[in-house]
A and B are shown apart, each in its own frame.
Chain A
């Protein structure tokens, strides 16, 4: 079953350009000039129910615009968007009741009251059963290890605690579609891991459709089963995470050292080994690896040789750099 479908959906933003300096401000006061920027080029997309999609791209790639279209915050300039069978921009209660948007960089709970009061308010907004909601709050806060701060005013919580509370709030109504925009941004490694593990267990149990954007590739690698890579408002890769790693040029990391710093520069294939350096770690494509190793091992005193796969983050970065370089 298809949960999300876009047909030629695009979005163009119009913004005012201010000329530099005082004179520019005065001129702009009387005559404004505007530029149009295409944040999302016509996009066709299908996402099946229960899929977890990692949405990756550089800043300005169009990720958040896509999420805003799916949540109904903005309308497409052209084309159609359907989510759970609804046009999100109609903001039908039946759709909003089944959807949740978590913006990692914005508070959505109420700043002046405790999280418990915020959840009680959300229970009324979503017409939830009170006792079931309380049970759910207890379960999720326990899983996220944040039950001790439930009665603390939101503004007094740390960033990690606040984000955990935002996650609780976004899941109270058991959404079928969960849009997570940078849910682990700015968090320490412990909080990141806790949230990641929690989401892993949650999706196993509840099977919602999730679209997740994150700058931490570990989030994507561990949670997502489908990858959407965006660059300059276009989807440049749409497929499974495993296919992506197979399709991209596989890189290996080769580490080695010499008994003493190199007395002169050396070159093996395209890799330069600098004079005066003793320990090296270089990236080699899988194809060139045998040839590189056969030449490397001829060098006198070579030791501590290690070979490991380049990580997912490196592969994404290389792919995105190649895409950005394209006109």
Chain B
């Protein structure tokens, strides 16, 4: 009981650390949480408005209203579920040896970064949520706002899987130097597999079913589809199960690589 309480308090402290660190650099925070999503969404909307003006009332079976709702929610949600900042940080800690200061503390490297990652995402999401909501209301696009809370829960559950993947990739830094390119390659792959690049409905069968069977579509495709009313609750909730499988898979891979990696670690730079 006491252990559980101190674990919670410790992780809440890491959660707050990410927020406090963000608030130290006001311009960086403003650009990250407001300017980037605002510009990104604005450009997407303008681009697709232009495409629909020339291509006609539908595109790939989607009406303009449906597509605009997708391209507004999709980058917003994918911004939450994609990561490079904390993955780079973890890789750098191992690469330059600053992990030494963390390894000698009575805590785990994984929990330290997971709680910070969730704190950072929670804070920036809370602030930038106003942008897609504003666009949706302004253009009167299809969105069932009563579904937003459960969608946000599923996204934050998916973030555990995201962090598991990041942790697994970061452990490669024990074996090789400069593994940042793995992050770029992973993000490029996820760009497609999550449905951020395009709605997965456009992908031909059987590839579509294969991709939807993977947990990655829980990052963008399922939450956006459910939020905009194109997917049923049953399909959406199935996503929790695939996310759980993904978490378990990467947890096992990450733990094995971590334990073996620590044996190879030479305590660089200390």
Contacts and interface: CB of A to CB of B under 8 A. Distances in A.
Interface of A: 13, 64, 67-68, 71-75, 91, 93, 96-97, 99-101, 103, 105-108, 110, 112-113, 117, 120-122, 124-127, 153, 181
A107 to B, nearest CB: 7
A68 B105 contact: no
Contacts of A112: 20-21, 24-25
- Return the 5 tightest CB-CB contacts between A and B, nearest first: A108-B101, A124-B13, A96-B106, A73-B267, A93-B106
The residue among A73, A93, A100, A108 with the most chain B CB atoms within 10 A of its own CB is A73
Given A112-B24, A117-B20, A73 B13 contact: no
A181 B6 CA distance: 30
Interface string B163-198: 000000000000000000000000000000000000
Contacts of B98: 106-107
A124 B97 contact: no
The secondary structure that dominates the B interface is: helix
B259 to A, nearest CB: 11
A153 B262 CA distance: 32
Contacts of A107: 98, 101
A121 B17 contact: yes
Contacts of A153: 24
B13 to A, nearest CB: 4
B268 to A, nearest CB: 10
A215 to B, nearest CB: 15
A73 B100 contact: yes
Contacts, number: 81
A73 B106 contact: no
A120 B265 contact: no
A122 B13 CA distance: 9
Interface in B93-108: 97-98, 100-101, 103-107
Interface of B: 6, 9-10, 12-14, 17, 20-21, 24-25, 97-98, 100-101, 103-107, 262-263, 265-267, 269-270
Given A91-B103, A106-B98, A124-B12, 6 more contacts: A71-B104, A73-B103, A110-B17, A113-B20, A125-B107, A126-B105
Contacts of A126: 105-106
Nearest to B97: A106
A78 B270 CA distance: 21
B266 to A, nearest CB: 6
A103 B106 contact: no
A106 B270 contact: yes
B24 A96 contact: no
30 contacts: A68-B267, A68-B270, A71-B100, A72-B104, A73-B104, A74-B265, A74-B267, A75-B262, A75-B263, A96-B105, A99-B104, A101-B100, A101-B104, A105-B270, A106-B97, A106-B98, A106-B101, A108-B100, A110-B21, A112-B24, A113-B21, A113-B24, A117-B17, A121-B13, A121-B14, A124-B10, A124-B13, A127-B6, A127-B9, A153-B24
Contact of A120 (B13, B101, B262): B13
A68 B25 CA distance: 34
A125 B97 CA distance: 20
Nearest to B102: A108
A105 B268 CA distance: 12
A73 B265 contact: yes
Contacts of A64: 267, 270
Contacts of B262: 75
A181 B104 CA distance: 14
A299 B24 CA distance: 72
Contacts of B9: 124, 127
Contacts of B24: 112-113, 153
Contacts of A67: 270
A99 B106 CA distance: 10
A111 to B, nearest CB: 9
A240 to B, nearest CB: 28
Nearest to A109: B101
Contacts of A110: 17, 21
A91 B97 CA distance: 17
A113 B116 CA distance: 14
A103 B266 contact: no
Nearest to A117: B20
Contacts of A96: 104-106
Nearest to B270: A103
Nearest to A111: B21
Given A73-B265, A74-B265, A75-B263, A125 B105 contact: yes
A131 to B, nearest CB: 15
Contacts of A99: 104
Contacts of A71: 100, 104
Given A73-B265, A103-B100, A106-B101, A181 B21 contact: no
A2 B172 CA distance: 38
